[in-house]
Amino acid sequence: KGRSLCSIGMDYNVLHMIILFGAREREKFETERDRFSRLGICWTYDLIGINSRGLKELKYDITDATLYPELLRLLEIKLGIER
């Protein structure tokens, strides 16, 4: 069964990427969280709760190019790619 890597959407004229993190991805993120920006990535991560399916639904503005390296790392975590 395949899984989605991420989704792209739009809210209030802002293009965003949604990444669902399960327990494995959250654990990996926590071990690397000091590599991510506090105000960009970590703040959103900490603000979002875990839904009824046990997932964090992370939503980031992809019109902000300064976040691209960190967003790519989040996708790598989702794919299980080690660094």
How far, in Å, CA of 56 to CA of 2, rounded?
A: 19
Say what the pTM is.
Answer: 0.89
Q: 44-61 burial string, b = 16+ CB within 10 Å, else e?
A: bbeeeeeeeeebbebebe
At 56 the pLDDT is 95
Task: Give SS3 for 64.
Answer: coil
Residue 1 pLDDT level (bands cut at 50, 70, 90): low
Average pLDDT, the chain: 92
Residue recorded with tokens 């071990």: 31
Express each pLDDT in 47-81 by its tens digit: 999 999 999 999 999 988 999 999 999 999 999 88
